[in-house]
Amino acid sequence: MPIVHIYLLEGKPQTYLQALGDSIHQALMETWGLPEKDRFQIFHEEKAEHFKIDHFAYLEGEGVQRSDDVIMIQITTSPRTIQMKRAFYKRLPDLLKDSIGLSPANVFINVMMTDEEDWSLGIGKTTLIEKLE
């Protein structure tokens, strides 16, 4: 049950945001085996003065040239393998290029892993542990 925070500049139409969220969830279902109904996404639309992502300075030699369309995706999740994370990192930019025309250089992803006991999804239970018992 990952929680996905999506940061981007304000002003995109709802259809763009919907396609963005759909693509992220599709990539998670394909690469992490998430169920269709395991979708927890929070969109953070920021004013330009509150969203400072360098376009060229960092990793310029790696061919990463971002534009103002850059999105930052931060995922908090229970443990995932490096293979799962790499598959997600590879799949998502392809889906976003097809769905909203986003350049792969504009897809910035950060995955933060937690332990299973760090999750309570309601009613006071350590859901990921108690569900398994």
Give the 3-state secondary structure percentages of the chain, helix then strand then coil, rounded to 5. 40, 20, 40
Which of 2, 13, 93, 104 is flagged as catalytic? Answer: 2
Q: What is the pLDDT of residue 17?
A: 98
**Which domains does the chain possess?**
3-130 (3.30.429.10)
Q: What is the pLDDT of residue 58?
A: 59
> For residues 20 and 6, is the Cβ–Cβ distance under 8 A?
yes
List C-alpha distances in Å: 69 to 6, 13, 39, 48, 75: 12, 13, 23, 11, 19
The model's pTM: 0.88
> For residues 126 and 70, is the Cβ–Cβ distance under 8 A?
no
| Token pair belonging to 41 | 């996404």
Q: What is the rounded distance in angstroms from the CA atom of residue 36 to the CA atom of residue 130?
A: 22
Percent of the chain residues topping a pLDDT of 90:
68
For the residues 40-54, what does the mean pLDDT come to? 90
Query: For this structure, is 13 an active site residue?
Result: no
Q: What is the pLDDT of residue 132?
A: 56
Q: What is the pLDDT of residue 66?
A: 77
Q: What are phi and psi of 95, to 5 degrees?
A: -65, -40
For the residues 30-51, what does the mean pLDDT come to? 95
The model's pLDDT over 81-128, given as tens digits with 9 standing for 90+, comes to 999 999 999 999 999 999 999 999 899 999 999 988 888 888 888 877
